[in-house]
Structure formats: structure tokens, C-alpha cells
Structure 1
């Protein structure tokens, strides 16, 4: 009976007259007795690698200069933004000052600081012991900085008055005098 089993590839004959080679191939020997590499020795830097390194260097330089320009522009933009914010604050201060000049009381105060008086008034200058004018203490404040109070309804004030009248707080009386002060009586013992 014939054997129908397949033989493995390695043991199959290959083509016409193919035989398995059992002897190793000869290795060429160099002059010093060491085996030589098949073909000539390849250089470490091939033409492709050199072109790749050159392209990478060019890209690095161009990206570095672009990055430097980008960072300079960002710093310039930040400087401009801070200048804009500073100028906007100055503009708002000047607009607030302009609004203050619309107030007649502020205009009068500024005029009085320059020693102007209203018609019919007499100006007096207060001098200190050295003969120098005394500085003014009272100034008008900016209306925007004054704390606004919320008005209360008139009926709540009236009701508080009614409650206070119905239940007055205790009044503290001064202690009785132990001595009579003759100076307060008005008598002059002279």
C-alpha cells in the first residue's frame, strides 16, 4: 500500500538534481587572517544619512529662528496690553475728574483754594504763630467714593418712634451732689 503522507518541505527535493548541501560555504580570509565581510566595508555615514542630517539641521535652524520671533512678538504683545490697561486707568481717572468739575460745590471749593471769594464776601486768612497761613483741613470728596446709604421709608421711622415712646430706654441719672459749688451759683464773694 502506498504511503500518502506528505513529506516535510525541508526533506523534499528542490527542483532538478537538487541535493542538500551539507558542507559549509567557504569564508574569504583577509590578509591578517581574520575573516573578511562579504563585500567592502560600509562607511558609517551613508549618503542618505548625510542628507537626512542636513535636512534636520536646516529645519532646526528655521524653527529656532521662528520660535525666537514668536516669543519676541508675544512679549511685545504683553507689553502693549499692560500699556493699554495703564492708559485706560488714566482715562477713567480723568473722566472721573471731569465729572467732578460739573459739580458746583467742587468748583467753589477749587476757587476758594485759589483764594477767590463770592461777590459780597470778605476773605480772611488765618495765620499761625509764625505768621504763615494755616492749611485748610476740609476738602470735598469724590462723589463716586462716598458710600451710598439706602433711604428708609418714613413709616418705619414713625413706627420706631411709637415703639420707643411705649417702652423708653432707662435714663441714667447723675449721682446727687455732695458739695455745692459756689462758682456755679453765680454769687461773687468778693
Structure 2
């Protein structure tokens, strides 16, 4: 008793699915009268479900929409990370620029320090800025037509600029002026 195998029939509804309704597959006679109305109600229910679904105008399936929504969420999370990365790269470039500027400034200061460690440079600065002389040398001062010395060699900040033709008072003149002010205090008006 060998049974012959027949190829499986596929229905328009898909493999393993039948187009018959449950009511049509039942064998009872009383229910066979109800079968056509059940089939009609099943068709009406299918149409109602189709009417409730959103119209698929672009041709996307639910799976495609789910994948698309996951991709959108991932893109948003990566966009924030990308923004942070770009900000950090800008901060890093600014820090590298500051490092280069400060390294250059350190080099300039080290050069100046080496010059100040040279005794000949210190002597030249003492002569130029302070007007000092070595023992045995003779110093000269040029006096202008107004009787004040010209070119004292002392370089001070230029924030207190004097009118043209006037020169700043020497330190000993300022010192003597403060002594004279201390000797002659101004009288208070209230007494």
C-alpha cells in the first residue's frame, strides 16, 4: 500500500492557505445555509480592515517603515556625536595654535635671558639706560637751548608723553620736589 505523492497545490492565497472560509468547510447541514452569509460577513470584515489601514501611496511595507524609522533614530544619535566631534576638533586646533604661540614666546624670552647673562650686554644696557660709566671714563651730557639735558639714554614707557621740546625730569629732581612739598604743606581751609 504505497501511497503516491502528489505535488502540493498552491492556492491564490499563498502556499498552505486555502481560500475557503471556515463556514464553508463545515459539514453540518444546518450550518451550510449560514455559510453564504458568513462568507459575505468575512468579506465585509476584510473590506472594513482595508478601509481602516492607512493608504499606501508610496508603496512602503511595515518592515520598510520600521527599518526607515530605526535609520532615522540612528542618524539623529550619530549627528549629535558628530557635532561634538567637530567641536572638539576646533578646540584642539585652537589649543595647538596657543601652544605654538607660547612656544615661540618662550624661545624669545630664553634668547633675552641669554643676552642678559652676557656681561657685555649688561654693561651696554647700564650705559644706555642708566648713564653709568666705568672707572676712568668721562661722560658727557648734551644740554639743549632750554638748559635741560638731551638724550639721557633712559627709556621709560611712552604712556606719559610730554609735549614736544620738553623732557622728563630726572629722578633726583623729582625726589627734591617731593622733599620741598613735604616741607611746605598746604594750609587747610576749614581752620
Smaller-chain TM-score range?
0.3 to 0.5
Length-normalised TM-score, structure 1: 0.45
**Which structure has greater helix proportion?**
2
